[in-house]
């Protein structure tokens, strides 16, 4: 039986700006030329060349491939089952593809290493064919990356990198009750929001905010309060400013805002929370099986 592959490709800025019905202001950027337009066109050429190289290698391997462009709103073609998911773009495309992959092995290909961040990408255009051969020969085993599992009422969602919980307005105070469960402290807090991260996401936003980098294979969940409000005297510093949550434990956040948002993996999905809603976040039972990630 041929290898069944879902190929998830980034939609480039050039494709978005040049598309019929695109914002006229964006289309004018391309028509004017200059350095911005030049960069957009060059990135598109690099990405297109990488997609072509990846497609040729999959054809040479006899793979049965379904290709989709973007995965934020997956089309019917993205429905499995598949033996391998390949993302072509950068880390953003990998994160979108990982939402479709479940436990299926996923290989990220950085289509433009000079301009694109690709920490999760285990291949580039020149190495993809070799990495694919190693996978087919059984020489390449996936790395199990922990995901976050979030629930709020009847809703359930997952993130590979991180969650951000904050007021709908970035300039407004986030108000909530944070608790460590099943047996831990509970505290009313006011801040700019709350970061919750996996090990894979610990080199990103949470690190920039003052968090720690975790071993890639760790199944702990990290949390960090952003800009905690201390009161007029500065003595109201919260106890639960940040830390690690062990597997089998979870974070619980009770919303004390009329409008709050939970952002998944940089806003690739989002939920609205209302006053009194309770968000529970823990490590997911379904890891992401990433190939050639170090």
Residues 6+ apart with CB under 8 A from 130: none
Candidates 286, 279, 41; CA nearest to 146 is 286
- Answer whether 187's CB lies under 8 Å from 224's CB: no
Catalytic residue set: 91
Task: Kindly provide the residue ranges of all beta strands, DSSP E only, lying in the chain, ordered along the sequence.
Answer: 4-9, 64-69, 84-89, 106-110, 121-124, 143-145, 148-152, 155-159, 162-167, 174-181, 186-191, 193-197, 221-226, 242-245, 250-255, 260-264, 269-273, 278-283, 288-290
* Residues sharing a CB contact under 8 Å with residue 267, sequence separation 6 or more, in sequence order: none
DSSP conformational letter for 3: P
Q: At what angle do helices 34-60 and 128-136 cross, to 10 degrees?
A: 30
Residue 124 structure tokens = 């580039």
CA atoms of 71 and 95, how far apart (whole Å):
9
CA distance 56 to 61: 9
Any residues with CB less than 8 A from the CB of 114 and at least 6 apart, and which? 46
What is residue 76's DSSP assignment? G
Eight-class DSSP state of 245: E
Beta pairing, strands 106-110 & 250-255: unpaired
């Amino acid at each position: 039986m041929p290898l069944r592959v879902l190929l998830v490709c980034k939609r480039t800025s050039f494709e978005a700006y040049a598309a019929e019905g695109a914002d006229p202001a964006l289309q004018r950027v391309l028509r004017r030329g200059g350095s911005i337009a030049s960069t957009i066109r060059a990135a598109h050429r690099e990405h297109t060349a990488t997609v072509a190289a990846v497609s040729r290698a999959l054809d040479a391997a006899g793979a049965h491939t379904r290709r989709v462009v973007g995965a934020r709103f997956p089309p019917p073609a993205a429905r499995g089952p598949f033996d391998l998911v390949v993302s072509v773009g950068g880390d953003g495309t990998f994160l979108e593809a990982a939402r479709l992959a479940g436990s299926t092995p996923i290989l990220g290909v950085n289509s433009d290493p000079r301009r694109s961040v690709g920490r999760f990408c285990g291949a580039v255009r020149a190495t993809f064919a070799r990495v694919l051969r190693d996978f087919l020969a059984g020489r390449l085993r996936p790395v199990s990356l922990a995901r976050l599992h979030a629930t709020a009422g009847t809703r359930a969602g997952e993130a590979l990198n991180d969650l951000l919980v904050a007021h709908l307005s970035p300039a407004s105070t986030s108000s909530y009750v944070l608790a460590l469960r099943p047996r831990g402290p509970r505290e009313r807090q006011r801040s700019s929001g709350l970061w919750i991260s996996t090990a894979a996401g610990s080199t990103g936003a949470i690190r920039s905010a003052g968090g720690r980098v975790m071993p890639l294979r760790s199944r702990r969940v990290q949390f960090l309060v952003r800009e905690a409000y201390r009161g007029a005297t500065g003595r109201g510093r919260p106890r639960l400013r940040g830390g690690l949550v062990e597997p089998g434990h979870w974070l619980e956040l009770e919303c004390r805002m009329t409008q709050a948002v939970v952002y998944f993996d940089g806003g690739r999905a989002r939920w609205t929370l209302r006053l009194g809603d309770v968000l529970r976040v823990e490590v997911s039972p379904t890891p992401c099986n990433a190939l050639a990630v170090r």
